Amino acid sequence: MSAVIDTHGHGEHEHHPSGLMRWVTTTNHKDIGTMYLWFSFTMLLVGGVLALTIRSELFEPGLQVVNPEFFNQLTTMHGLIMVFGAIMPAFVGFANWQIPMMIGAPDMAFARMNNWSFWLLPAAATLLVISFFVPGGAPAAGWTLYAPLSTQMGPGMDFGIFALHIMGASSIMGSINIITTILNMRAPGMTLMRMPMFVWTWLITAYLLIAVMPVLAGAITMVLADRHFGTSFFDAAGGGDPVMFQHIFWFFGHPEVYIMILPAFGIISQVIPAFARKPLFGYASMVYATSSIAILSFIVWAHHMFTVGLPTAGLLFFMYATMLIAVPTGVKVFNWLATMWKGSMTFETPMLFAVGFIFVFTMGGFTGLMLAIMPVDVQLQDTYYVVAHFHYVLVAGSLFAIFAGTYFWIPKWVGRMYDETLGKWHFWLSMVFFNITFFPMHFLGLAGMPRRIPDYASQFTEFNMIASIGAFGFGLSQLLFLYIVLKVSVFGKGDKAPARPWEGADTLEWTHLPSPAPYHSFHEQPEVK
């Protein structure tokens, strides 16, 4: 286990190339983490521009800004870019930066494969975005790519399929790396049940990724085959079944949404104890709850298919199993509250985002429970209620957790404190505009507005206008975040950060490493007592 550790132990030799080649050839988990994070931020802004174009069109009834074909490309690409380009790589960036430091390891287990996992992503993203410019435009079947609509599309769909394959390969390699690192390279004394929760959530997420990314690959390959190789997996005329695509896709798709939230739970589980100055309540329960959520996530996929025409017994099973996930999720929320309870809290920006997360993510959880009730879902499936639900859990959930983690750990990464006043502004603007954008969408869905439409009936006008205004506010607020991050990292402004700026934080990166963390940390393994 010590073969890869540099045990010279004297001073810092920063042997790495400079300039562009440093980034192209790096095998350092900190460099790779940085690249993942900047990549995901860029994709967030690209996906955001697509969203603002969508909301411009939906400001009023009538077609004003784009035509319906292009609108469908916008909604599809917004989804694909945000899921695969923004949220997932951001969490992998956190995994890369934090996991080795938090377990006392010098780097990831497979440092070169780590480099390859990252560099596949800009290539995949380029392929995906280029699809806008091929004949027929970008994929326009929704991010869910249902057949047979996806088998009908132009070459842009093939670009999208290949991009997804590449991103899937990147995720699988990253997950192998994460699991191997966590299971083999923990410092002596750090048993599994003494790991930080962030590490636990990533261990579980990595297993989910390995299990389901190949399933997505299978589904989209079948679409590719139906498109070009004369097969009829999803064509009834040839003996196939369009619904089979949905089963296969959602067998991936449901664990995928947990892949996008479990690392968020991990970040929150680090931030809340630090700012409450109190240990995480119920560590063992949190581990069991997270594991239960992961296991349950495999048996609920057909709740995305409640209106397809499944038999009654199937509908009942999936309804009950889906409702069950509320239990471990609730346990986690209660444990965070119990961590806050009788703590000694301060509310710097990371804590604001963490508490904001609990509030807004729980609301998303409530609407998820509502959608789990199949008869109610009959009215809500494919409406704006679903759009509201998943934006609450993905934006106010995953993205807010990413913000919380960035503010929390950036002092360790760059060695300077971010601007606290600006950070608080970013929080409040995001919180207010997020809710202005997405809360009215619940009403739109209840009132009967379908999703993925460029134009709508007159009675939906008012809430759509409100949502569009909120969207622009939310989008512009993220430019403030860009400025905050650039200011503290690239422009180098801000107070010098001590090794442990957050007095309640007690994991290894805070207690054993200076700020900024050295290029190679843990030349010698720390002892965890």
Q: Among this protein's residues, is 170 annotated catalytic?
A: yes
Tell me which of 254, 391, 412, 416 is the catalytic residue: 254
Q: Which residues in 257-276 contact another protein (CB under 8 A)?
A: 276
Range 135-194, binding another protein (CB under 8 A): 135-136, 140-142, 146, 148-149, 152, 154
Site for another protein in 276-305 (CB under 8 A): 276-285
Contacts of 229 (CB under 8 A, 6+ apart): none
- The minimum distance between CB 24 and another protein, in angstroms, equals 37
Nearer to another protein, 227 or 254 (CB): 227
Q: Three-state SS string across 474-522, please? A: HHHHHHHHHHHHHHHHCCCCCCECCCCCCCCCCCHHHHCCCCCCCCCCC
| Cα within 13 Å of Cα(265), Cβ side | 32
Q: Could you confirm whether 14 is annotated as catalytic?
A: no
Stretch that binds another protein, among 86-94, 110-118, 180-188, 336-344 (CB under 8 A): 336-344
Backbone torsion region of residue 277, taken as left when φ is above 0, otherwise alpha when ψ lies between -120 and 50, otherwise beta: left
Asked if 18 is part of the footprint of another protein (rule: CB under 8 A), the reply reads: no
Q: How far is the CB of 281 from another protein (least distance, A)?
A: 5
Residue for token digits 């502004």? 425
Q: How far is the CB of 378 from another protein (least distance, A)?
A: 5
Structure tokens at 225: 């085959």
Between residue 458 and residue 487, which ones bind another protein under the rule CB under 8 A?
458-459, 461-463, 465
Beta bridge partners of 250: none
- Tell me how far, at minimum, the Cβ of 237 lies from another protein, in Å: 6
Does the active-site annotation cover 36? no
527 is catalytic: no
CA distance 188 to 203: 18
**Closest approach of another protein to the CB of residue 164, in Å:** 18
Residue 60 has, within 13 A of its CA and on its CB side, a CA count of: 4
Question: Is 171 assigned a catalytic role?
Answer: yes
Peptide linkage before 148 cis (omega within 30 of 0):
yes
* Long-range contacts at 33-38 (CB < 8 A, ≥ 24 apart): 33/93, 33/94, 33/95, 33/96, 33/97, 33/98, 34/93, 34/97, 34/413, 35/93, 35/118, 36/89, 36/90, 36/92, 36/93, 36/96, 36/118, 36/121, 37/89, 37/90, 37/93, 37/94, 37/97, 37/406
- CA–CA distances in Å: residue 468 to residues 375, 386, 471: 30, 17, 5
Q: Please count the residues of this chain forming the interface with another protein, following the rule CB under 8 A.
A: 103
420 as an active site residue: the answer is: no
- Using CB under 8 A, which of the segments 39-47, 93-101, 202-210, 309-317 binds another protein? 309-317
Kindly name the residue from 30, 165, 227, 332 that is annotated as catalytic: 332
Indicate the residue among 152 and 421 with the shorter CB distance to another protein.
152
Q: Per CB under 8 A, does 202 bind another protein?
A: no
> Per CB under 8 A, which of residues 385..404 are in contact with another protein?
none
Q: Which of 447, 480, 482, 528 binds another protein (CB under 8 A)?
A: 447
236 binds another protein (CB under 8 A): yes
Point out the catalytic residue in the list 29, 55, 165, 304: 304
Q: Would you say 412 or 442 has its CB closer to another protein?
A: 442
Known catalytic residue at 412: no
CA angle (480, 123, 19) in 5-degree steps: 70
Region of 57-65, 104-112, 177-185, 518-526 interacting with another protein (CB under 8 A)? 57-65
Respond yes or no: is residue 304 known to be catalytic.
yes
For residues 404-443, which are near another protein according to CB under 8 A?
443
Confirm whether 97 is a catalytic residue: no
- Interacting residues with another protein between 485 and 504 (CB under 8 A): 504
Q: Tell me which of 36, 97, 200, 258 is the catalytic residue.
A: 258
- The least CB distance from residue 459 to another protein, in Å, is 4
User: What DSSP string runs through 432-487?
Assistant: HHHHHHHHHHHHHHHHTPBSS-SS--GGGHHHHHHHHHHHHHHHHHHHHHHHHHHH
Residue in the block written with tokens 């949502």: 467
Q: How far is the C-alpha of 263 from the C-alpha of 271, rounded, in Å?
A: 13
d(CA 351, CA 271) in angstroms, rounded, equals 6
3-state DSSP assignment of residue 1: coil
Residue 63 CB, nearest approach to another protein (Å): 6
Selected from 22, 133, 184, 359, the binder of another protein by CB under 8 A is: 359
Q: Mark 58-77 with x for binding to another protein (rule: CB under 8 A) and - for no binding.
A: -xxxxxxx-xxx--x-----
Q: Which region among 37-45, 201-209, 370-378, 401-409 touches another protein (by CB under 8 A)? A: 370-378
Whose tokens are 């070169």? That residue is 112
The three-class DSSP label of residue 383 is strand
Residue among 521, 508, 522, 412 nearest 102 (CA): 508
User: Per the residue annotation, which of 170, 339, 349, 521 is the catalytic one?
Assistant: 170
Residues catalogued as catalytic: 78, 107, 143, 170-171, 254, 256, 258, 269, 303-304, 329, 332, 451
